[in-house]
Amino acid sequence: MFGLKTDWTLDIPDRYFTLDDYEGNIARWCPGCGDHAVLTAVQRICRDEQLPPEKTVAVSGIGCSSRFPHYMGTYGFHGLHGRAFPVACGIKARRPDLHVFVATGDGDCCSIGSAHWIHAVRYNMDMTVMLFDNFIYGLTKKQTSPTTYRGFSTNTHPRGAWLPPMNPTAATLGFTNVSFMAQTVDWNPAHLHATLLAAFRHKGFSFVRIIQRCPTYTGALCDALQRDPSQILLLEHERGIRLDPQVGRIYPNKMEHDPSDLVEAQRIAARDDLMPIGLLFQDTSRLRYDQYSSEGMNTPVESKIRVIEQELDHYAI
């Protein structure tokens, strides 16, 4: 790979991609699972942004949501548990021309993958990360995850989870070099689509926590939020998530929030009376690791050989 050109797109002019071009295998998630909505939103963004399927890659770890790459008609890498980020960073480091989407769950990201999560935020490589937070390990049948609510009965804590749940949004906002943090819900397609689109267009590590329905194991948790929009706090700002005003009308609780204000974003994320949705933080000036790691990738082979030979000449006797 080294020394070769990185643009592998076939030179075919006037291609127009339809939704069919982004469809992979038939999704095997449970009926009513929020993952279906996220898949649809990403496929629509790929179509709207006309991303060539051969220049797009979906990466995941292990869990229900991590089946995501199988259902995309793009390249994909279904990785190991908790290891979506190192795989995605590796791809981005060597192929900066690819559009990278990462699908990870609350178990995958916030437990076994937490060390990778911290450093992936710090590396700030240009990719769109979707944290599917359904408050449970769904694939392994209802075990307590780091975000499981206190008192919620699971197979590992039948009398109720007893530790306070982790807040992935507040945590991400505390990591060094965070550049984009948003939160949305899977049952509002307009907000979900607008949030993921803003994340995709951000140059850097875009982290989106999606509150995701799991009707099989944690249905009651999201039912309350879904049926009572007054439990949601809609964040609005001219530089925030662009939303049709009609969509926002269902939420009685709104707040004007400047996404450049990190301290205020942290304060909002820590609220436990309402679930904030919208853009909490964005800073486009943060350093990106992929700017450094891709340096020199287009250097011709001849130039590389010449430099290597010059170096080796130091040892000529």
**What are the two backbone dihedrals, phi and then psi, of residue 133, each rounded to the nearest 5 degrees?**
-100, 100
d(CA 210, CA 277): 9
Dihedral in degrees, nearest 10, Cα atoms 153, 155, 156, 157: 20
Please state at what angle helix 84-94 crosses helix 114-123, rounded to 10 degrees.
30
106's contact among Mg ion, ligand SF4, none, with CB below 5 to 8 A by partner kind, is Mg ion
35's contact among ligand SF4, Mg ion, none, with CB below 5 to 8 A by partner kind, is ligand SF4
User: Which span (109-117, 119-127, 156-164, 211-219) binds ligand SF4, by CB under 6 A?
Assistant: 211-219
User: Which span (96-104, 210-218, 278-286, 290-298) binds ligand SF4, by CB under 6 A?
Assistant: 210-218
SS3 (DSSP) at 297:
coil
| Minimal distance, residue 141 CB to ligand SF4, in Å | 8
User: Considering only residues 73, 105, 276, 278, which one is a binding residue for Mg ion as defined by CB under 5 A?
Assistant: 105
String marking each residue 16-35 x if it binds ligand SF4 according to CB under 6 A: -------------xx--x-x
User: Considering only residues 214, 232, 265, 269, which one is a binding residue for ligand SF4 as defined by CB under 6 A?
Assistant: 214
| Minimal distance, residue 136 CB to Mg ion, in Å | 5
Say if strands 75-78 and 127-133 run parallel, antiparallel, or are unpaired. Answer: unpaired
Residue type, position 210, single letter? I
24's contact among ligand SF4, Mg ion, none, with CB below 5 to 8 A by partner kind, is none
Instruction: Name which of residues 48 to 87 contact ligand SF4 (CB under 6 A).
Output: 64
Residue 160 neighbours by CB distance under 10 Å: 13
Q: Do 94 and 115 touch, CB atoms closer than 8 A?
A: no
Q: Six-digit token pair at 51?
A: 């991303």
| Minimal distance, residue 24 CB to Mg ion, in Å | 21
Q: Give residues in contact with Mg ion (CB under 5 A).
A: 105-107, 134
